[in-house]
Amino acid sequence: MTRVAALQGIGLSKTFGGLKAVNDVSFEVPAGSLTALIGPNGAGKTTLFNLITNLFPPDTGEVRYFGTSLSGKGPSEIAGLGLLRTFQTARVFPGMTALENVLVGAHRQVKSNAYAQMLWLGGARREEARLTEQADALLDLVGLSSFRDVAATSLPMGAQKLIEVCRAMMAKPRLLLLDEPAAGLNDAETAELAALLRAVRDSGITIMVVEHNMSLVMNVADQVVVLDLGSFIARGTPAEVQRDRRVIEAYLGLQHGAA
């Protein structure tokens, strides 16, 4: 059965000054799967995310999203197509509460235009109520309900990252790119995150995750893609990748063999 891959990277490269951050990387993310992108620091994982969302354009190569090329599309256009991402250092909006932050994510879904909102017409009011319910449900899912009216930037980093995830979820994405969602979470919280990720994937959303937390990756990922120094070095199931010699070499000093 050949379904269109959710995401395809074809020969992507990006050089900054003298540094080749991403070097001819190709990969495929099957629809409905959870793919983990791993590699030592400096491997080019976040740069790859930035290329996918066209934060800056690749020097060579192309990204295809459910078959459509993303070349030349701006970040907001890409988000409008249902490709949402979070950032490595949580970028919640200061000056807004946790709830308001999550509601910003709904931007893509909002039907009523500015004029209807200004006149506070019935349709706009009802939509606002509906979106607020959804946002509350998401915050409840990640255990942050009690912080709904708190200034988002005053929360610990782990909570801010969860708010970012909720915010991305509000946009009803087809593909979700999460940049180190487990950073700053303790073991219990990481287990909750794993459950959340599985639930999101099971609801039909394709996920691609950059992560350093190996136990999380091994637990939830369907596919693992490994980068090192900007180049692709391995791909496969978590078990396969764990045994791959090239991967073990790249991670020299960290875990060897089975966890």
Which residues contact another protein by CB under 8 A?
46, 50, 53, 55-56, 74-76, 79-80, 84-85, 87-89, 91, 93-97, 100, 103-108, 110, 112, 114, 117-120, 124, 128, 131, 146-147, 149-151, 153-156, 159, 167-168, 171
CA–CA dist 44, 57 (Å, integer):
15
Contact 7, 81 (CB under 8 A): no
Please state the closest distance from residue 64 (CB atom) to another protein, in A: 19
Least spacing, CB of residue 23 vs another protein, in Å: 19
- Shortest Cβ 257–another protein spacing (Å): 34
- Cross-strand partners of 12: 25
Q: Pick the closer one to another protein by CB: 23 or 117.
A: 117
Laid out side by side, the sheet with 68-69 consists of: 19-29, 7-16, 60-65, 68-69
- Beta-strand ranges (E) seen in the chain are 7-16, 19-29, 34-38, 60-65, 68-69, 83-85, 175-179, 206-210, 223-228, 231-236
Q: Which of residues 16 and 255 has its CB atom nearest to another protein in the complex?
A: 16
Q: Least distance from C-beta 258 to another protein, angstroms?
A: 33
CB 120 within 8 A of CB 135: no
Integer Cα distance of 141 and 6 in angstroms: 25
Give the residue with the Cβ less far from another protein, 100 or 228. Answer: 100
What is the C-alpha to C-alpha distance for residues 180 and 244, in angstroms, rounded to an integer? 23
Q: Which of 205/241 has CB closer to another protein?
A: 205
The neighbouring-strand residues paired with 210 are 37, 179
Token pair, residue 240, equals: 């396969």
Give whichever of 18 and 257 is closer to another protein, judged by the CB atom.
18
Taking the complex as a whole, the smallest distance from the CB of residue 62 to another protein amounts, in Å, to 20
What is the nearest approach in angstroms of another protein to the Cβ of residue 238?
27
In the complex with another protein, which residue's Cβ is closer, 82 or 238? Answer: 82
